[in-house]
Amino acid sequence: QQKVQQSPESLTVSEGAMASLNCTFSDGTSDNFRWYRQHSGKGLEMLVSIFSDGEKEEGRFTAHLNRASLHVSLHIREPQPSDSAVYLCAVSHNVGDNSKLIWGLGTSLVVNP
Amino acid sequence: EAAVTQSPRNKVAVTGGKVTLSCNQTNNHNNMYWYRQDTGHGLRLIHYSYGAGSTEKGDIPDGYKASRPSQENFSLILELATPSQTSVYFCASGPDWEDTQYFGPGTRLLVL
């Protein structure tokens, strides 16, 4: 079964400095890769999904996928204190004709003013 | 943006009691999901549904039942609640398996 690991567990950056989060997975045949954000006590908000090797940008959030390296990253440009949250990586896993998401444990990001 | 609501937002139950968590979505999505989130485990899929009348087992279905009486509503039922079911439960909906899942705000359940 697909295994998803995120690093680092926690990350502190200053406002305006690039934040980079990592996600590794065990099965490179997955179809899609998603990054979600969860503010404390809230539900999850999807930030970006990526299906092909390379880069996908959604506003200040950019995902990089390299299937050969079993790695997908999230880069947050000009992070703000309001970006402080837990960031979750989710990787699709095929089950018969359908697929489900396998989730990482998250990276806790703190952005200091 | 998809609207997914959950009720109650917080619940305290006693061991052996019956608990029903409700989820409603107003975007006509076919798929709905129930997850639980625990420290050290991440999100784990309990049950899911393809549409009204369908329920399927996820990765950790034991101790839980689900009901999808309509396109909009998906319930999670704990017939005999146990302390190990203390967790935060999230409902999500999505148009299809390959599409974005939209999450509700979560229900915090404490079983004493």
Question: Which string of DSSP letters, residue by residue, matches B37-106?
Answer: EETTTEEEEEEEESSTT--EE-S--TT-EEE--SSSEEEEEESS--GGG-EEEEEEEESSTTSPPEE---
Number of other residues whose CB lies within 10 A of the CB of residue A70: 16
CA–CA distance from A89 to each of A98, B48, B52, B110 (Å)?
A: 19, 20, 29, 27
Contact A92, A99 (CB under 8 A): yes
- Measured in angstroms, the CA of B81 and the nearest CA of chain A are apart by 23
* Contact assessment for residue A33 and residue A52, using Cβ atoms and an 8 Å cutoff: no
| pLDDT for the residue B1 | 55
Question: A88, B105: Cβ pair inside 8 Å?
Answer: no
Q: What per-residue confidence (pLDDT) applies to A96?
A: 67
Alpha carbon distance A1, A95 (integer Å)? 10
DSSP line for B55-69: -EE-S--TT-EEE--
Asked if the model's pLDDT at residue A94 lies above 90, the reply is no
- Distance of alpha carbon A76 from its chain centroid, rounded? 10
Q: What count of CB pairs under 8 Å joins A to B?
A: 45
Stronger pLDDT, B70 or A42, i.e. the higher one: B70
Residues of A with CB under 8 A from a CB of B: 31-32, 34, 36, 41-46, 49, 88, 90, 92, 98-101, 103-106
Work out the average pLDDT over B50-60: 93
The amino acid that residue B60 corresponds to is I
Interatomic CA distance for residues B83 and A27, integer angstroms: 34
Tens-place pLDDT, residues B72-86 = 999 999 999 999 999
If you measure CA to CA, which chain B residue comes closest to A104?
B42
* φ, ψ of residue A82 in degrees (nearest 5): -70, -10
pLDDT value at position A98?
67
> Would you place residue A1 in the very low, low, confident or very high pLDDT band (cuts 50, 70, 90)?
confident
Is B51:B104 a contact under the CB 8 Å cutoff?
no
Q: How many angstroms separate the CA atoms of A43 and B9, rounded?
A: 11
Say whether pLDDT at A39 is over 90: yes
* More confident call, A56 vs B98: A56
- Proportion of chain B above pLDDT 90, given as a percent: 85
The reported pLDDT for the residue numbered A28 is 82
The answer to whether the CB atoms of B42 and A32 lie below 8 A apart is no
- Is A46 within 8 Å of B101 when comparing Cβ atoms? yes
At B5-18, the pLDDT tens digits run 999 999 999 999 99
